[in-house]
Structure 1
Amino acid sequence: MKTKSLPYSRQVIDEDDIEAVVRTLRSDWLTTGPKIEEFEKRFARDVDADYAIACSSGTAALHLLYIANNIGQGDSVIIPAMTFLATANAVRHSGAEVIFSDVDPDTGLMNASHFKDAINRSTNKKVKAICPVHLNGQCVDLSSFCNEIDKIIVFEDACHSLGAFRLSRSGQKFRVGSCSLSKATMFSTHAVKAITTGEGGIITTNDENLALRLKKLRSHGVVRDKDLGNNELINLDEKNNFKQPWYYEMRELGFNYRLSDIHCALGISQLKKLKYFIERRNSLRQRYESYLKCLGKYVQPLKLVRNCTPAWHLSVALIDFDALCVSRTEVINKLRLLGIGTQVHYIPVHQQPYYRDRYGILELPGASAYYSKCLSLPLWPAMETEDVDFVMESLAKILGLTFEDNTSFDAKAN
């Protein structure tokens, strides 16, 4: 009888990570120190961006992006309904309104037709930005939006897709986070993401002025030293020291959205293992896919999107529970009794009471269809091949299904 617990996801922390954190704890800097800039520079390098700005959470990253781009009352932002609450909540915290787009029922991703539909529903609303969400590890085809977007700022919510590549129509590869077709990209470094800092977020951009403003807003809107510019109080003396080194100015209302050196030390260590983490996640997810394709028409893996090399964050099965005459709740609870944790990503945000009360009942059939079928299966880099086998054998039994072709799964997964 298997007793191993398999949550839907978990962090992978090794001795190198622990030692990196301990070294910082023993240093002079626990926050506002050198590890923050080091983490930002390494992250920017790894995603081919000019700048990276670390902050306290993915939600904080989104909020900072909207505020730094002067999005507020009277503006609207288009986001997909299939995402975590934070994508929408940050819009509202900035004072702007949310316009929800539908998504593809087989991928959970928005596309150009969904964007057009959202625009058509935005009558009398000033659409200032769009924030597509790269879901589960796959990428939205941003190039398909290019001819549709005019004077609308593009942000990318890439919390699920660190390490993925977008492919241009000419075949050129761009890292998610390189901001080749957007003004900025934001990531989360929550415990179950591709890398973790415990809690945390990070924004990448190639816009120097935006990067400077994000850093200022991240820390109360305060500027110091050389960032004060032409100010007599900070002129240098004959020894090249600031005459008034204590002086600072708050030039706009900011926040305390800083990430500490402790968090960043862990992030630096985790970044060194990102390639391995992605390779392992992708391999395990491919094994899941081999199983899912053999369970008949009512159970399928996510449809693979064109123009993307994924970095799988979640392994999602699309299950027609109604056709199989079984409830998702029943399946989840029976798997839990076997030590197998699953999750649903996500309840469509437009169905949440706050947004339903604010915007009324919206008919977004793609999001509803995706939500009705999605089930996230256990996936993290330290899982073993045998864990996937156990999960899939258990799922098939609970669904009352047999594998149509149960031979050579090792060959299919390789």
Structure 2
Amino acid sequence: MIPYGRQNITEADISAVVEVLQSTWLTQGPGIAEFERTVAKACQASHGVAVCNATSALHIACLALGVGPGDLVWTSPNTFVASANCARYCGADVDFVDIDPATLNLCTSKLALKLKAARDAGRLPKVVIPVHFAGRSCDMQAIAALAKEYGFAIIEDASHAVGASYQGVPVGACHYSDITVFSFHPVKIITTAEGGLLTTNNTALAKRLARLRSHGIAQGPEQLVSEPAGAWEYQQVELGFNYRMTNLQAALGVSQMARLDAFIARRRQLVRQYHTLLADLPVVRPQACEASAWHLYPIRVPAERRLEVFNTLRAAGIWVQVHYIPVHTQPYYRALGFGPGDFPEAERYFSEAFSLPLFYELTDEQQLHVVNTLREALR
């Protein structure tokens, strides 16, 4: 079987994890801070805060920015449900902004129109969460300009975009956002088995994120509310969570980060090859973008043929996948008042799309087999 995505694990990765297993630090330990520094440096950000997964990162990002009951958070409907659920965890309301059919990211012109209407109605979002779908950055400069005009904070959901860049600067530098969130699930660009990380240039935000990931316990003397009675004392100063990454995961992450450039280079090479190999087929290829990290390679076929072609590829052992069912059409969100027809570009894309295999170890021969099988399925 050829999956749509898969991790690459080397002897160096295994050795890094074994070294931690043989140490005294299995859960919390110095490797976590090293991983945070490694990712923050690669992103040109001031701070990195590692957590157990990207969903928890999105949750505490919302909390750190003060999202709560009565607030409103906007995101893209073309994403995994976690991008919206994080606001619901905080008791906030959620709405969506339809996508640009070319980039498949949140559409900035639609965002501008929706913001104007929201201001007129007196109901502006507190936070907007642009999602860098498939590894391509949203137009963050335009979104940041709107944030300045309308007064909302920005969380970049860069779960797909480790190693991507925007305007020549790494995604995660937070030049146009308050916080950026990354995912290290095994199908992502690098993996920590499970894990996530937040970058920010705001020291106060970084300290609060670190506190929220660990039960809300004070993370230094300056955060204590009273003089400690002894060295044993810890103080919970707010309600937090157990969202910590382990030292084992961090060791794997540091080892993986050493190959980030190689991972991105191979993905971009495979994408260029896909673009060429698919040029004569009746499919819509994703828009070229050399700055993308290319977590996914989504194509579009006529909606009436999507299921047939999808099933033919899977029957041939090519495990294509659909990314994503629009969030607003999920039963939970339909119960909140959303429904089909609300965000037509996201729905149209979903009805036609599936992702072809794309990962570091995918060979040229396997890629050619995928394309040839797709060619036969489309006949």
TM-score, normalising length: structure 2: 0.95
Q: Is the alpha carbon distance of 1:224 and 1:162 closer, same or farther for their aligned partners in structure 2, counting shifts above 3 Å?
A: closer
Residues 215/395 of structure 1: CA separation in 2 closer, same or farther (3 Å cut): same
For the residue of structure 1 that corresponds to 2:243, the secondary structure is coil
Alpha carbons 2:97, 2:107 under 8 Å: kept:
no
| Equivalent AA in structure 2 for residue 302 of structure 1 | P
8 Å contact from structure 1 (residues 17, 270) kept in 2: yes
Distance 2:39 2:96 in 1: 30
Q: Which is further off, 117-126 or 273-282?
A: 117-126
Counterpart secondary structure, 1:89: helix
Instruction: Provide closer, same or farther for how the CA distance between residues 98 and 309 of structure 1 changes in structure 2, counting only shifts above 3 A.
Output: same
- AA in 2 matched with 1:32: Q
What is the aligned partner in structure 1 of residue 153 from structure 2? 153
Aligned to 1:165: 165
Alpha-carbon contact 2:214-2:242 (below 8 Å) kept: yes
Pick closer, same or farther for the CA change 1:124–1:230 going to 2, 3 Å: closer
Is this contact kept in 1: 2:184–2:196, CA < 8 A? yes
Q: Equivalent residue for 1:408?
A: none
Compute the displacement of 1:106 (Å).
3.0
**Alpha-carbon distance in structure 1 between the residues aligned to 2:75 and 2:117:** 13
Aligned 1:187-226 pairs, distance under 5 A: 187-223=182-218, 226=221
Alignment pair present for 1:393 and 2:372: yes
Return the alpha-carbon distance in structure 2 between the equivalents of residues 386 and 284 of structure 1: 11
Q: Distance in 2 between matches of 1:72 and 1:232?
A: 30
State which of 43, 62, 76 in structure 1 corresponds to 2:39.
43
Equivalent residue for 1:87? 83
Offset of residue 107 of structure 1: 2.6
Query: How far off is 1:116 after superposition?
Result: 2.3
Partners of 1:100 and 1:118 within 8 A in 2 = no
Identity %: 40
User: Match of 1:184?
Assistant: 179
More deviation, 221-230/253-262: 221-230
Find the residue that maps to 2:188 and give its secondary structure.
coil
Whether the aligned pair in 2 keeps the contact of 1:224 and 1:249 (CA below 8 Å) is: no
CA displacement 1:121-180 (0-9 Å, x = unmatched): 64343410111000111111111224322211011000111111111xxxxx21100000
Amino acid at match of 1:373: E
Aligned residue among 274, 277, 291 for 1:291: 277
CA shift for structure 1 position 229? 5.2
Confirm whether residue 15 of structure 1 aligns to residue 11 of structure 2. yes
Alpha-carbon distance in structure 1 between the residues aligned to 2:273 and 2:111:
33
The residue type paired with residue 271 of structure 1 is M
Instruction: State which drifts further: 150-159 or 110-119.
Output: 110-119
Please report how far the alpha carbon of residue 87 of structure 1 lies from its aligned counterpart in structure 2 after TM superposition: 0.3
CA gap of 1:70–1:230, structure 2 versus 1, over 3 A, is closer
Q: Could you give the per-residue CA deviations for residues 66-107 of structure 1, whole angstroms, max 9, x where no partner exists?
A: 011110111101101100000001110011111111002233
Q: 1:174: which partner in 2? A: 169
Residue 68 of structure 1: aligned partner: 64
- 1:370 corresponds to which residue? 349
Give CA-to-partner distance per residue, 1:230-270, whole Å, 9 cap, x none.
Answer: 84337xxxxxxxxx211111100000000000111110110
Corresponding letter in the other structure for 2:188: K
1:260 aligns with 2:246: yes
CA RMSD of aligned residues (A): 1.6
2:2 corresponds to which of 1, 6, 15:
6
Question: Does residue 330 of structure 1 match 2:312?
Answer: no
Q: What does residue 329 of structure 2 align with?
A: 351
Contact 2:115/2:124 (8 A) holds in 1: no
Alpha-carbon deviation of 1:360?
Answer: 3.1
SS at match of 2:48: strand
The correspondence of residues 134-145 of structure 1 with structure 2, limited to 5 A, is: 134-145=132-143
For 1:378 and 1:141, the matched residues in 2 are separated by 26
Question: For residue 292 of structure 2, what is the aligned residue in structure 1?
Answer: 310
Taking the TM superposition and a 5 Å limit, the aligned residue runs for 1:401-412 are none
Aligned to 1:412: none
Counterparts of 1:359 and 1:396, CA distance in 2: 41
* Aligned-partner residue type, residue 314 of structure 1: L
CA distance in 2 between counterparts of 1:248 and 1:146 reads 39
| Shift of residue 119, structure 1, vs aligned partner | 2.5
Task: Choose which of 17, 24, 27 in structure 1 pairs with 2:20.
Answer: 24
- Structure 2 distance, partners of 1:277, 1:224, is 35
2-side partners of 1:44 and 1:16: how far apart? 22
Which secondary structure state, in structure 2, belongs to the residue aligned with residue 301 of structure 1?
Answer: coil
Q: Hey, which of these two has a bigger chunk of helix by percent?
A: 2
Unaligned segments of structure 2, at least 5 residues:
none
- Residues 237-276 of structure 1 aligned to structure 2 (within 5 Å): 244-276=230-262
Contact 1:62–1:186 (8 Å) recurs in 2:
yes
Q: Which runs of 5+ in 1 are unaligned?
A: 168-172, 235-243, 401-414
